[in-house]
Structure 1
């Protein structure tokens, strides 16, 4: 099957446990996709006989590129500046549509929850969800000092009416950020007699502002990076930084490493607390796909991340009731995604890769973004508004006075 119609999709959405995997392409309205950043950093982690300080200089340049295009734009999301309106509007439409589908769900057996897994570290989902006043569970609990724990996911919430004491489940979104977030921070917290590192919620952008300032100071020392950069050539031609330049590079990297995110490298993690939570969240992702009668929609994800890719393939092979539906951004990427997921070899035939219709005119080529997917696939599932009457009939009734009994007769 290489396509799906509205009725087939409606049955899946209505009768299955819903989960989504959102990649960098879902936030492409503001944040640039990673490109070859992971491959560059993996290459730099290997021994190429280059001087250590030279490698650090090139590595810092790659992280600067990553920071400017993927991390720093979060400042505009938090402050809801005009430049972030497009991506926020995309997530508002997406979340609003899913919330309505949950409210109108015909099954009373399935809970009204959606699991939103994402490799993105931006705050677009949180900001859009709060604007819509949705029940969004991001894994934090607590008022004074919100702490993160994977055990907080999956909580079912209900609301009781004040007048009739009716109990109804509230539609909820579990936002599971596999690679951390710019709103995460690590801190040593006292738990009884012991102290251990924990992830706390950080709503301000002070750290981003600090890193941006350190990046500006080191700008003249860093190499210019773009999507066409040949990292091997750059490393071979790189010059060893002098003492003053090393100070600037180390200052930038020291502050960058305070971010509680999983960096785009093969080993993925550096901080122990992130390492532990990364595996916990991957386990939740794996367990979700093991549920009977589940569906995973994959949007904006290139499937290059081998950890996540292998979990999807294993889930599809071991759970025949799981349906994986992958949306390719461009028609030319359909076969690429099929190959990465071994979709054609899936024993259960339950990995479906959908791509936009091909066009002979490159300028008219349709693409599947989170915005277009919401509009083309999920909005048609919403209940239609009642149809207006074709005509109005004016009926006038006249009520006569009741007959009275005449007792004299």
Structure 2
């Protein structure tokens, strides 16, 4: 990929209201994609996936997570470190932004109900000044409420001689989470994996399930409102737009000429898949799809495909992180935003 385009991506990430949409592909290989799980007489593929997500999430919350690296769960550690580096890159980006022009807040929307982002952010919080907003309020009992988003937190000097906005990350999970537990008409966000989590399973009925539950509808409403804001940018990764309701919301949002959407495909064949799922014949001026062929060797992964008998390339969350991590104030001097 041309170096100027990389600088353009970094400049947009620094100067615009930054949003991410992260799908199940980002947690591979720790958690396989839905088509990996086949229905059996005992359990459906959806049930197997939910159990896998609960198992992995429970593992990463364990006190032994850093001391007992099981060979069988090697992929879990790889994915966790990938998410941690991703969160760290976001903090660096926000610290470069000018709060007088753009709020120092990044929105992460994810259809995943695993706890990789929460665990990774918890580690980053130990090293960086950062506000993490998962939409909950309360102390001993924390309940989800979409009105808790869109908050800013500032730090003022000891002598009240200056005020600095503290970088913040808002995590919005439209499909629920394995640490969400239903309490009467509310959702409690707990610090552990619960037995019967509030989640929308990928069964092809996501739209119907979402609208049956007011909480999920509220999460999607936040998504739509953020994309409708002026001077916003959305980076999409690990998400194929098979969720028809979210795909419809993105199509609607692209009508906002001030919104810029970049979709990063795992493989080159994803380009046509995304266009088909979005019912697009081609890309739009403010809707671009980037796949491995758009990047040079330094920004994609090479692997051997035994089925085709040739070396192929893919693009993952770690590659996007590497691009964003290279952002500096010099990027603001290049390209047009």
- TM-score normalised to the size of structure 1? 0.68
Corresponding residue of 1:200:
188
Corresponding residue of 1:374:
321
Where in structure 2 are the equivalents of 1:375-394 lying within 5 Å?
Answer: 375=322, 377-382=323-328
Query: Aligned-pair distance for 1:64?
Result: 3.5
- Verify: 1:146 aligned to 2:139, yes or no: no
Query: Aligned-pair distance for 1:290?
Result: 0.9
Sort the Cα spacing of 1:2 and 1:64 in 2 relative to 1 into closer, same or farther, 3 A: farther
Where in structure 2 are the equivalents of 1:83-232 lying within 5 Å?
Answer: 83=73, 84-106=76-98, 108-133=100-125, 134-163=130-159, 165-188=161-184, 197-205=185-193, 207=195
CA separation in 2, counterparts of 1:26 and 1:130?
19
Cα contact 1:260–1:274 (8 A) shared by 2: no
Query: Aligned-pair distance for 1:125?
Result: 0.6
Cα contact 2:211–2:217 (8 A) shared by 1: no
Query: Aligned-pair distance for 1:89?
Result: 0.8
5+ unaligned residues in a row in structure 1: which ranges? 42-56, 189-196, 208-257, 385-409
Corresponding residue of 2:11:
11
Where in structure 2 are the equivalents of 1:32-111 lying within 5 Å?
Answer: 32-35=32-35, 58=41, 60-79=43-62, 80=65, 82=69, 83=73, 84-106=76-98, 108-111=100-103
**Secondary structure at 2:13's aligned position in 1?**
helix
Cα contact 1:182–1:261 (8 A) shared by 2: yes
Cα contact 2:54–2:114 (8 A) shared by 1: yes
CA separation in 1, counterparts of 2:210 and 2:316?
35
**Secondary structure at 2:245's aligned position in 1?**
helix
Cα contact 2:180–2:190 (8 A) shared by 1: yes
Cα contact 2:113–2:173 (8 A) shared by 1: yes
Instruction: Deviation per CA, 1:314-367: give whole Å up to 9, x if none.
Output: 111x20111110000011212221232244456x52110000028897454221
Query: Aligned-pair distance for 1:271?
Result: 8.2
Sort the Cα spacing of 1:260 and 1:270 in 2 relative to 1 into closer, same or farther, 3 A: farther
Query: Aligned-pair distance for 1:265?
Result: 2.5
Instruction: Deviation per CA, 1:199-256: give whole Å up to 9, x if none.
Output: 012223462xxxxxxxxxxxxxxxxxxxxxxxxxxxxxxxxxxxxxxxxxxxxxxxxx
Query: Aligned-pair distance for 1:264?
Result: 1.6
5+ unaligned residues in a row in structure 2: which ranges? 295-301, 331-337
Q: How many residues are aligned here?
A: 306
**Secondary structure at 1:287's aligned position in 2?**
helix
**Secondary structure at 1:325's aligned position in 2?**
strand
Cα contact 2:180–2:194 (8 A) shared by 1: no
Query: Aligned-pair distance for 1:58?
Result: 4.6
Corresponding residue of 1:338:
275
Sort the Cα spacing of 1:123 and 1:67 in 2 relative to 1 into closer, same or farther, 3 A: same
Pick one of 265, 271, 276 that aligns with 1:328: 265
Cα contact 2:210–2:217 (8 A) shared by 1: no
- Verify: 1:291 aligned to 2:229, yes or no: yes
Cα contact 2:108–2:172 (8 A) shared by 1: yes
CA separation in 2, counterparts of 1:117 and 1:35?
22
Where in structure 2 are the equivalents of 1:225-304 lying within 5 Å?
Answer: 258-268=196-206, 275-304=213-242
Query: Aligned-pair distance for 1:177?
Result: 0.5
Corresponding residue of 2:298:
none
- Verify: 1:357 aligned to 2:304, yes or no: no
**Secondary structure at 2:30's aligned position in 1?**
coil
Cα contact 2:31–2:53 (8 A) shared by 1: yes
Instruction: Deviation per CA, 1:282-313: give whole Å up to 9, x if none.
Output: 11111111111111100100110001011101
Corresponding residue of 1:50:
none
Query: Aligned-pair distance for 1:21?
Result: 0.1
CA separation in 1, counterparts of 2:140 and 2:211?
21
Sort the Cα spacing of 1:2 and 1:198 in 2 relative to 1 into closer, same or farther, 3 A: farther
User: Which one is further off, 159-168 or 172-181?
Assistant: 159-168
CA separation in 2, counterparts of 1:180 and 1:117?
11
Cα contact 2:99–2:165 (8 A) shared by 1: no
